[in-house]
Amino acid sequence: MNVKLIGFTPNPEKLPAMAAKLTHSKTKPEELDKSSDKELKAILEQVMNLGHTSVIEHANFSFAISDVSRSLTHQLVRHRIASYAQQSQRYVDFKEPNYVTPPKIAKNKKMKKAYDETMNNIWTEYNKLLDMGIPAEDSRFVLPNAACTNIIVTMNARSLLNFFELRCCQHAQWEIRQLANKMLQEVKKVAPIIFKKAGPACKSKGICPENKKDCPLYPK
């Protein structure tokens, strides 16, 4: 899995801070950028601590994500306040096997061998369909959820906070949890105030929606 932050709103923390200041100021919007960095930082920290996160919707972040499974992206696109551009199985050549192997299968030599054989058989049949003149848009029906894909994702900061609460959780599926943690590491580099408390709900809100008391992160 490769995750890279490839674009984001310039000054991703300044703009939300300006928006927050606007709501309690007579200053005209076009004059807000004259505010000092120190003042805007203090305003942003205050609204984040109060949970007034609507203003951070003004900051957007775009990620390039590669070598993840279709199983992962089926989960990812359920987060609807986002924009997606995914590699097409209709137009891209997938003749060579390329798939994700779950860790629990990878650790079991016997199971790993059977898994790889199954994947190779699937791609053999996929290529047979293509050779028979079946269009890729129909041949792809035999490809597995494990098939690798690439996707570009754009979310605003508020949507990302919600995404991290759900997907950084220890009870989220392992692959999308890994993705969420990598995305969180990326945005913290450019927006540390916004994402200071970001993570699973036990970290961001001090609660466990799953009520899993056996979880090592369960709030004490």
The per-residue pLDDT for range 72-124, each reduced to its tens digit, is: 999 999 999 999 999 999 999 899 999 999 999 999 999 999 999 999 999 99
Residue 219 domain-assigned? no
At 182-193, the pLDDT tens digits run 999 999 999 999
70 among known catalytic residues: no
Q: Which of 70, 140, 158, 167 is catalytic?
A: 167
Total number of domains constituting the chain:
2
3-state secondary structure of 150: strand
Residue 209 domain-assigned? no
Q: Same domain, yes or no, for 168 and 70? A: yes
Q: Same domain, yes or no, for 64 and 43? A: yes
Cα separation values, 157 from 52, 115, 165, 178, Å: 12, 38, 12, 19
At 119-166, the pLDDT tens digits run 999 999 999 999 999 999 999 999 999 999 999 999 999 999 999 999
With pLDDT > 90 as the criterion, what percentage of the chain qualifies? Answer: 81
pLDDT: which is higher, 31 or 202:
202
Q: Same domain, yes or no, for 48 and 136? A: no
pTM above 0.75, yes or no: yes
Does 175 have pLDDT greater than 90?
yes
Q: Same domain, yes or no, for 78 and 97? A: no
Q: Same domain, yes or no, for 77 and 168? A: yes
Residue by residue, DSSP assigns 62-100 as: EEEEEEEEHHHHHHHTT--SSEEEE--TTTS---S--B-
Give, rounded to a whole angstrom, the gap between the first and last alpha carbons of the chain: 33
The range of the structural domain enclosing residue 125 comes to: 93-142
Cα separation, 80 vs 193, whole angstroms? 25
At 25-47, the pLDDT tens digits run 877 877 787 888 899 999 999 99
